[in-house]
Amino acid sequence: MTTEQQAPTGAERRSRLRQYQVTLLERMQAAKAGTGNAGRELGVLLGGRRCLLDLTQVGEIVPFQAVTAVPLSQDWYRGLANIRGNLVGVVDLARYMGEAGTQPGPDSRLVTFATHLGFNCAILAGRVLGLRNLDEMVEQAPDSGQPAWGSQQFNDREAQQWTRLDLAELVREARFLQVGL
């Protein structure tokens, strides 16, 4: 087996992952600044559903970490996590949407809300699927069974369905604001 055919070492994989994260962060910052990423969305897997998040509504993406449960809270409210010294509420949005919850695993991430939304919260994502371009997708009829913040549906080139989530609308929903039982 030649060097070109050998599997990457652990250090090479970490370097590639670090480069991917830097590139993704740069693209997110460019989108927030409004330069060059119109129509770009962050693709995440919530439970079994592919979802799109507006980059201007996303704060940061961090690996899943310990979450401290909060007594007498809704089953979709996972608890609190310490992210860079800040306590952040963690929500299993798949469970909130009435589906099976997201099971944390090695690919799980916490996606925080942008600070301008005024809501110190993160979504538990089973996996980050990278950036997606809405211009390359076909919008479907809105799902009338879903609230306005989650009714936009798109199909990509592989005919996979994506749900676009509007976090700014979500944080205004009375049910979302009531985490206590």
Q: Are β-strands 121-125 and 86-91 bridged in parallel, bridged antiparallel, or unpaired?
A: parallel
List pLDDT tens digits, range 128-156.
999 999 999 999 988 777 888 988 999 99
Residue 163 has pLDDT above 80, yes or no: yes
pLDDT of the residue at 65: 93
Secondary structure E strands in the chain: 40-46, 49-54, 58-63, 77-83, 86-91, 109-113, 121-125, 127-133, 138-139, 152-155, 161-165
- What is the band of 84 on the pLDDT scale with cuts at 50, 70, 90? very high
Q: Tokens standing for 129?
A: 């699927």
Residue of 28, 68, 22 lying closest to 44 (CA atoms): 28
Residue 38 has pLDDT above 80, yes or no: no
- Domain 3-177 homologous superfamily, CATH: CheA-289, Domain 4 (2.40.50.180)
- What is the band of 1 on the pLDDT scale with cuts at 50, 70, 90? very low
- What is the band of 37 on the pLDDT scale with cuts at 50, 70, 90? very low
List pLDDT tens digits, range 49-77.
999 999 999 999 999 999 999 999 999 99
